[in-house]
Amino acid sequence: MTSIAARVVDAVKVYGSGDTEVRALDGVSVDFAAGRFTAIMGPSGSGKSTLMHCAAGLDTLTSGEAHIGGTELGTLSDKRLTLLRRERVGFVFQAFNLLPTLTVAENITLPQDLSGVRGDSEWTDSLIDVVGLRDRLHHRPSELSGGQQQRVAVARAFASRPEVVFADEPTGNLDSRSGEEVLRLLGRAVRETDRTVVMVTHDPVAAAHADEVVFLADGRLVDRMEAPTAERVLDRLKAFDGHHRQPEVAT
């Protein structure tokens, strides 16, 4: 049986109220299988980031459930939720989010140092090779290219061997070559170290690195695609144009 790393059930997220109410998620149920690389795609405003944030425990649902492994996030106190995010979930953001005063090595082990957990140095060591940063370990982020900084962020996200790594537009600030490197890394981490990655992207080329793509439109899950190619993803997205796009300005 495939185990599920993360899932949401009947997820509803409403921002604001009255005239300004926005239903960012409108009853989404989706499983993210362990050991897989899944991309979340959809038009701008379709709810991709909201889904990721709620599935990862960075934000709470208005109704429905979000689970990481066997834990339902809605049952946790703020303190336990913080611990779960630190110990069981990894994050990669568009804006690298490295601490400028720390070295590459210190940035990678920061989450473990914060939680007082003794890291698995063999695992961290192998991650440094996977991301190709062995000769940069004592550099500061400002001495690295954007692509190298994002590779540090990827190593940091995997350092505590999290059950799932969530990546929000991880290539959004990178040129296409560095972006490609980061995507390959995420793919390698999933295949070679049996990790789970859930990535939000608007880029069909990025989504093609995933094992599967889930498509959102207007806060609903509308399709899933196995073994995606950039062309097939692009075709699927084009089908949304005119049909599902939310108006930019409410009338």
Q: Which residues bind ligand ATP (CB under 6 A)?
A: 15-16, 22, 24, 42, 44-50, 202
> Closest CB to ligand ATP among 31 and 59?
59
> Closest CB to ligand ATP among 44 and 251?
44
> Helices (DSSP H) in the chain: which residue ranges?
48-55, 78-88, 104-115, 121-130, 146-158, 176-193, 204-207, 230-238
Spell out the long-range contacts of 121-129 with Cβ–Cβ below 8 A and sequence spacing 24 or more: 123/159, 123/161, 124/155, 124/159, 126/193, 127/155, 127/158, 127/159, 128/155
> Closest CB to ligand ATP among 48 and 67?
48
Q: How far is the CB of 143 from ligand ATP (least distance, A)?
A: 30
Q: How far is the CB of 114 from ligand ATP (least distance, A)?
A: 26
DSSP3 helix / strand / coil % (the chain, rounded to 5): 40, 25, 35
**Token digits of residue 57:** 């425990």
Q: How far is the CB of 4 from ligand ATP (least distance, A)?
A: 22
**Token digits of residue 22:** 């926005």
Q: How far is the CB of 22 from ligand ATP (least distance, A)?
A: 5
> Closest CB to ligand ATP among 165 and 237?
237
First CA to last CA distance, the chain: 48
> Closest CB to ligand ATP among 45 and 204?
45
Contacts of 56 by beta carbon, 8 Å cutoff, 6+ apart: 6, 68, 85, 89, 91, 164, 166
Q: How far is the CB of 58 from ligand ATP (least distance, A)?
A: 12
